[in-house]
């Protein structure tokens, strides 16, 4: 699975756990540390953890390793590092505060919604 496919797969996994405002940001032309950000929001700490857990479980089934996870204990923002894809799961107010979409405003953004 290439990085584009992985970003889409992770976005679909987050959608399956009712994440909101899911986007994929293509950063390949902007930075060398990753290819994509997948950013989504959830209204509760429990939902944020459920999204993170679901992604981890499903990636494990595909033999894809999550290299690093930050924020799992506080659960207002969980960052999951898959190397070529970095997943950000935010509480809406934390997402607004950090404004990654504005910080990386030159990135191509794809909105992910239910089909």
Residue 99 backbone class (left: φ over 0; alpha: ψ -120 to 50; beta: rest): left
CA–CA distance, 78 with 26 (Å, rounded to integer): 20
Do 14 and 40 contact (CB within 8 A), yes or no? yes
Residue 38 has pLDDT above 80, yes or no: yes
In total, how many domains does the chain have?
1
CA–CA distance, 62 with 55 (Å, rounded to integer): 11
CATH code for the domain in which residue 26 is found = 3.30.460.10
pLDDT-derived band at 9, boundaries 50, 70, 90: very high
Residue 103 has pLDDT above 90, yes or no: no
Q: What is the pTM of this model?
A: 0.93
The proportion of the chain whose per-residue pLDDT surpasses 70, expressed as a percent, equals: 99
Residue 63 has pLDDT above 90, yes or no: yes
Which residue range forms the structural domain that includes residue 48? Answer: 3-112
pLDDT-derived band at 115, boundaries 50, 70, 90: low
């Amino acid at each position: 699975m290439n990085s584009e496919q992985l970003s889409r797969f992770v976005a679909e996994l987050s959608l399956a756990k009712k994440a909101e405002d899911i986007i994929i940001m293509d950063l390949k032309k902007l930075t060398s540390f990753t290819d994509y950000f997948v950013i989504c929001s959830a209204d509760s700490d429990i939902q944020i953890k459920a999204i993170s857990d679901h992604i981890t479980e499903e990636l494990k089934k595909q033999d894809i390793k999550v290299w690093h996870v930050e924020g799992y204990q506080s659960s207002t923002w969980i960052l999951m590092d898959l190397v070529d894809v970095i997943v950000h799961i935010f509480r809406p107010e934390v997402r607004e505060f950090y404004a990654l979409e504005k910080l990386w405003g030159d990135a191509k953004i794809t909105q992910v919604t239910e089909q």
